[in-house]
Chains A and B, each alone.
Chain A
Amino acid sequence: MGFYVGMLHPLSTPPQLLALLALGLMLGQKFPRDFLVCWIVFAICCFAGVLLGQTAGMQGTENAWLLAICVIAASLAALLPNGLFLPWLVLTGGAGLLVGVLSTPDPGHWRATLISLVGSFVGANLALLFSTGGVGWLTERFTQHWVRIGFRIIAAWIAAISFLMLALVVSGASDSKKSSPSAGAQLVVLKRPLIDQSGPGSHQQDAAPTYSALHPIADIPTSGPARIGNVRNVHKADVAN
C-alpha cells in the first residue's frame, strides 16, 4: 500500500507531473541522444533529494522552484527542440533533486516511510523513462512534420500552465502572509492526510505515510474531517462539503 501510494505521488501532484512531462518533451524529441546520462543524473539527484528531505526537511519553496524548472524545460522543448546538453543536465538534475525532496512523507514508522520513499523514487524514474521514451518513440515512428510541431505546441502549453501555477504559488505565499487565502495559498499549505490512520484495525506502524506538501487534487480545504480512505474519496467528500 505504501509503495503504491509513494509510486503514484509524483504522478498525482501537479508540479511533479508537469515537471516529468516537461522533461519528457525536452529529452524525448532527440531520444535517445544523451538520455541515459540525463536519466542517471536524475536518479542520483532524486536519491539525494530523498535523503535531503529526510534529513533537512522541506523548506516550503520546493514547489515554486520545481515549477520554475518546468517553465524553463518546457520552453526549451518548445523553442529549442534540438536542445543543449548542459541545460538539459542542470534541469534534469534540479528536477530530480526537488522531486526527491517533495517525496518526503509525513513522519511515521521508519519501515512504512522507507517503502513509500522507494515507491516515489521508482515512480518518478519510471515516469521520466516513459514520458521521454514515449515522446521519442512517437517522434521516430511518425515522421510527419506535424507530430514534432504538436509536441512543441504541447510543450508551450505546459510551460504556460507551469508559469500560471508558479505565479499562483508565489502570490499565494504573499497572500498567506496577509491571511487572505487564495488558490495559490491552498497549493502551498495543504495539510490533510491521504490515508485514514485512525480507523478500526489500523496500526501506526503499518499505515502508509501521508503527504502534506502538496495534495494531488490541489484545492482541498485545510480543515474538516480526515477519516477518508483514499485520494478520490477525499476529493468527493470535500466537494460534498
Chain B
Amino acid sequence: MSEATRLVIFGVVIIASILAPGSVEAHTEGGLAGGFISGFTHPILGWDHVVAMVAVGMWGAFLGPPAIWLLPVVFPLVMSFGAALGIIGIPIPAVETGIAASAVVLGLLILFAAKLPLWAANVIVAVFAVFHGYAHGIELPEATNSFAYAAGFVIATGLLHLIGIVFGLLIAWPFGAYAVRAGGGVISVVGLAFLFGIV
C-alpha cells in the first residue's frame, strides 16, 4: 500500500470519526447530526440538481486539467453566493427554469464533447451555480444547525461533482468516451423533462 493511499484512508477515518459521534448522539432532525443530514440530503434528493452537478464533474473530466478540478472549485463558491441571495431574500427570476436549463445545456455540451475555453466553461458553470444555490438557499430549514447544514450541503455537492468526474474519467478508453457522451445525452433529456414539466 502506497503512502498516498494510506494518507487517503487516514483522512477518511478521521472524517468518519468526527461525523459518526454526532450521528449516534442525536437521533432527531434537529441538532448537529440532523443539520448535517438535512444539508447533505438536500442536493441529492432533487433529480434536477443531481444531474446538473454530476454533469459539471463529467464535463470537467471531458475538458481535462485544469478544468477537471477548477469547475468543482468554482461551482461551490458561486453556489454559496446564490444561496446567500436566497437566504437574504433577494429575488432571482426563473430559478426552476435555470436549473432545468443547466442540465440541458451541460448535457448537450457533454454529448457533443464541446471543448470550450476555460474562462467560458467557468462562466457557464458559475451562472448555473447561482440558480442551484438560490433554490437551496430559499428552502433552507430554519430549525437546523446552520454550520452542520452548510457543511453537509457543500460536501454533498462536492461528492456529486466527484461522481461525475469519476464517470467522466472513462473517456480514457474508447468505449468510455461513448458512455460519457451518452450519459450527457441522458442528462440533457432529464433536463428537458424538468424544463417542460413532464416530471
Output the nearest chain A residue to B76 by Cβ-Cβ distance: A160
Chain A residues contacting B153 (CB-CB under 8 Å) are: 164
- Complex CA distance for A184 and B149, rounded to whole angstroms: 12
Chain A interface size, under 10 / 10 to 19 / 20 to 34 / 35 or more = 35 or more
- Complex CA distance for A238 and B26, rounded to whole angstroms: 10
- Interface segment out of the listed B47-55, B79-87, B97-105, B169-177: B79-87
Chain A residues contacting B27 (CB-CB under 8 Å) are: 239
Residues 149-168 of chain A, each 1 if its beta carbon lies under 8 Å from chain B, else 0: 10011001101110111111
Chain A contact surface mostly: helix
Q: Which of B3, B69, B74, B80 contacts A164 (CB 8 A)?
A: B80
A153 to B31, Cβ gap below 8 A?
Answer: no
Chain A residues contacting B143 (CB-CB under 8 Å) are: 183, 219
Output the nearest chain B residue to A182 by Cβ-Cβ distance: B142
Q: Does A14 reach chain B (CB closer than 8 Å)? A: yes
Residues 221-241 of chain A, each 1 if its beta carbon lies under 8 Å from chain B, else 0: 000000000000001101100
Interface size for B (C-beta < 8 A) is 41
Q: Does B35 reach chain A (CB closer than 8 Å)? A: yes
A156 to B30, Cβ gap below 8 A?
Answer: no
Q: Least Cβ distance of A231 to chain B in Å?
A: 11
- Complex CA distance for A183 and B83, rounded to whole angstroms: 14
A184 to B146, Cβ gap below 8 A?
Answer: yes
Chain A residues contacting B120 (CB-CB under 8 Å) are: none
Chain B residues contacting A152 (CB-CB under 8 Å) are: 69, 73
Chain B residues contacting A138 (CB-CB under 8 Å) are: 7
Chain A residues contacting B25 (CB-CB under 8 Å) are: 235-236, 239
Q: Least Cβ distance of B28 to chain A in Å?
A: 6
Q: Does A1 reach chain B (CB closer than 8 Å)? A: no
Q: Least Cβ distance of A107 to chain B in Å?
A: 27
- Complex CA distance for A183 and B139, rounded to whole angstroms: 13
Output the nearest chain B residue to A163 by Cβ-Cβ distance: B80
- Complex CA distance for A181 and B141, rounded to whole angstroms: 12
- Chain B residues proximal to chain A, CB less than 8 Å: 3-4, 7, 25-28, 30-32, 35, 69, 72-74, 76-77, 79-81, 83-84, 87-89, 137, 140-147, 149-151, 153-155, 158
Task: Give me 8 other A-B pairs in contact (C-beta within 8 A), A153-B69, A219-B146 excluded.
Answer: A152-B73, A164-B87, A164-B149, A167-B137, A186-B146, A235-B31, A239-B25, A239-B27
Q: What are 19 inter-chain pairs, A to B, with CB distance below 8 A? A: A75-B77, A78-B77, A152-B73, A153-B72, A160-B80, A160-B150, A163-B77, A163-B83, A163-B84, A164-B137, A171-B87, A183-B140, A184-B146, A218-B145, A218-B147, A219-B31, A219-B146, A236-B25, A239-B25
